[in-house]
Amino acid sequence: MSEREVLELLRENARYSAADIARMTDLEEDEVEAAIEELEAAGLVRGYQAVVDWDRLEDERVRAEVELNVRLDRETGYDDIAERLARFPQVTALRLVSGDYDFDMEVEGDSIREVSQFISEKVAPVPEITQTVTHYVMTSYKENGIELGDGEDDDRLSYSP
Amino acid sequence: MTFELSDRVQAVPPSGIRRFFEIAEERDEVISLGVGEPDFATPWAARDAAITSLEQGKTSYTANRGKRELREAIADYVADRFDLGYDPDEEIIVTAGASEAVDLAFRAFVNPGDTVAIAQPAYISYEPGVIFAGGEVLPVPTREEDDFRLTVEGLEEAGAADADVLVLCYPNNPTGAIMPEEDLEPIAEFAREHDLTVFSDEIYAELTYDGEHTSIASLEGMRERTIVFNGFSKAHAMTGLRLGYALGPADAIGAMNKIHQYTMLSAPTTAQYAALEALDSCDNDVEEMVEEYDRRRRFVLSRFREIGMDVFEAKGAFYCFPEVPEGFTAEEFAEEVLREQGVAVVPGDVFGDVGEGHLRVSYATGLEDLRRALNRIEAFVADHA
């Protein structure tokens, strides 16, 4: 049995039912259920979310990618700073990255003002943070592996040999 | 003035799927499981190679037999994948789709009155191809109880011992049947014993889900009597680029090239650049597509069984071949499920009389659509139970 196959299918579409996954993998439905439970219990699967195209929503939804540089000392490591930042509900993703800056942080809010205020009032004052560079998301074309455009119509003939 | 059609053109009836196509065009919201082509786009690297070749102005004819570089790549590919050894200079010809290769073979090797045995159910173009060449078709039915594999008994019963050519297509369109090596051995022996030329259409070879594909040309004593057809349409999702090829002994390929050079001159140049890149760097794309087809295959087979329709365990291509419920002919079922539920499937008798009572269902369509289509078929079957 391939846990990985179940994982791949859940990543493709978390709403596939256990029955659907069973059909695709030749597993029994209860085996799929057990595998999913195990993946969740082991912390490999941490949750399920919809992939949303916010640009289609009437209400404004503002997202920003923030580059953060930090200064470490003997008492404080990356994990400590990350733990502090990750607690903010406005932060939707946080990653330590290699390159010109240390953390790559995704932030969401209802307005530019709200996001700006959060960064200037909550993030920038964190003593270890030495620099923030905020990039507001203007248009999103792909999220979580899913393209957000209108999608191309299937223009194949309905019957072909 | 009216055109007087040639006897050969008149002898070919209109395509069995044309009428369905017209009904589908009138109806909104049709989910099509009637297609014989991938729903994936050509791998990006191959498309990019085609674009680059255009940017560089590479738009001239190529050698009649195809770019030498591509023939070399094909020779390496078939040697590696299917244990087939062909000389790129003399034993390979690149054509405008495998369909052209099939047509060239019929025209090059079938004399008026020759008999061409076709293992059925079969891809719909073989029969007209034989008729256009002036030959006569000898249907060789395969049976579901034999997993739609061709058997020597089947060949004997049909009288194929007296035929001139035997046409095989495995993995099979429309059934999804495959012929493993142990099944091909006796067929090869039959062909040798009765001196049959074999045309082996292996366009779906990469789409084999259970075990490895074996080419009949790789069996002892078969290379010299077999023409193998393959191409880039199915596994490399390049249907619209129209690129195929044929493999065979030098004199046979030379004969096919004689027709090709006067009719096609050379296969599309842009497509040849795409194909070269496809062979060079798109193995992963092919692997991913095959994996996805396999998942869909299992899904579709399992859903048909839940719906209560008997379905053969297809192991190749991207089709399955369920039986229609009692009280329907294949054509009635296909027409009514299209009109009532907007699901397009192809009646099995289009692929030869032996396909009556079956449907060809393509799973070269995304899983969400497959799921919706099978729910609709389920509702249709329940309504008519």
pLDDT in tens, B162-216: 999 999 999 999 999 999 999 999 999 999 999 999 999 999 999 999 899 999 9
Query: What is the rounded CA–CA span in Å between residue B40 and residue B47?
Result: 13
Model pTM score: 0.93
pLDDT in tens, A29-86: 999 999 999 999 999 999 999 999 988 888 889 999 999 999 999 999 999 999 999 9
Name the phi and psi angles at B52, rounded to 5.
-60, -40
pLDDT in tens, chain B (385 residues): 899 999 999 999 988 888 898 899 888 899 999 999 999 999 999 999 999 999 999 999 999 999 999 999 999 999 999 999 999 999 999 999 999 999 999 999 999 999 999 999 999 999 999 999 999 999 999 999 999 999 999 999 999 999 999 999 999 999 999 999 999 999 999 999 999 999 999 999 999 998 999 999 999 999 999 999 999 999 999 999 999 999 999 999 999 999 999 999 999 999 999 999 999 999 999 999 999 999 999 999 999 999 999 999 999 999 999 999 999 999 999 999 999 999 999 999 999 999 999 999 999 999 999 999 999 999 999 999 8
CB atoms B24 and A159 under 8 Å: yes
Secondary structure E strands in chain B = 31-32, 92-95, 115-120, 136-141, 165-169, 197-201, 226-231, 244-247, 319-320, 343-344, 346-347, 359-362
Q: Closest CB to A23: pick one of B21, B30, B303.
A: B303
Beta bridge partners of B227: B199
Chosen from B302, B320, B363 to mutate, greatest number of chain A CBs within 10 A: B302
The alpha carbon of residue A44 is apart from the nearest alpha carbon of chain B, in Å, by 23
pLDDT in tens, A116-161: 999 999 999 999 999 999 999 999 999 999 999 877 678 899 999 9
**Has residue A1 got a pLDDT over 60?**
no
CB atoms A158 and B37 under 8 Å: no
3-state helix, strand, coil in chain B (%, to 5): 50, 15, 40
Q: Angle CA(B215)–CA(B221)–CA(B227) in degrees, nearest 5?
A: 50
Query: What is the rounded CA–CA span in Å between residue A52 and residue A61?
Result: 11
Residues on chain B touching A22 (C-beta within 8 angstroms): 302
The alpha carbon of residue A6 is apart from the nearest alpha carbon of chain B, in Å, by 11
Closest residue on chain A to B34 (Cα): A159
Q: Where do the H-state alpha helices sit in B57-116?
A: 68-82, 97-109
| Pairing relationship of beta strands A129-136 and A62-70 according to DSSP bridges | antiparallel
| Pairing relationship of beta strands B197-201 and B165-169 according to DSSP bridges | parallel
**Token output for B363:** 């799973």
Q: Angle CA(B197)–CA(B203)–CA(B205) in degrees, nearest 5?
A: 100
Closest residue on chain A to B370 (Cα): A20
Contacts of A66 (CB under 8 A, 6+ apart): A103, A104, A105, A106, A107, A119, A123, A132, A133, A134, A135
Question: What interface predicted TM-score (ipTM) does this complex get?
Answer: 0.89
Query: What is the rounded CA–CA span in Å between residue A65 and residue A88?
Result: 15
The pLDDT value given to residue A76: 94
With 0-12 / 13-18 / 19 or more C-beta atoms within 10 angstroms meaning exposed / middle / buried, residue A119 is buried
CB atoms A159 and B32 under 8 Å: yes
Residues on chain B touching A154 (C-beta within 8 angstroms): 32, 39, 365
The pLDDT value given to residue B16: 81
Q: What is the 3-state secondary structure (H, E, C) of A85-99?
A: HHCCCCEEEEEECCC
CB atoms B24 and A24 under 8 Å: no
Beta bridge partners of B231: B244
The alpha carbon of residue A21 is apart from the nearest alpha carbon of chain B, in Å, by 8
Sign of the CA dihedral running A152, A158, A161, B3: negative
Q: Closest CB to B37: pick one of A20, A26, A156.
A: A156
Residues on chain B touching A26 (C-beta within 8 angstroms): 298
Amino acid code (one letter) for B342 = G
3-state helix, strand, coil in chain A (%, to 5): 35, 20, 45
Residues on chain B touching A159 (C-beta within 8 angstroms): 17, 20-21, 24, 32, 34-35, 344, 346
Residues on chain B touching A32 (C-beta within 8 angstroms): none
Q: Say whether the peptide bond before residue B121 is cis (omega within 30 degrees of 0).
A: yes
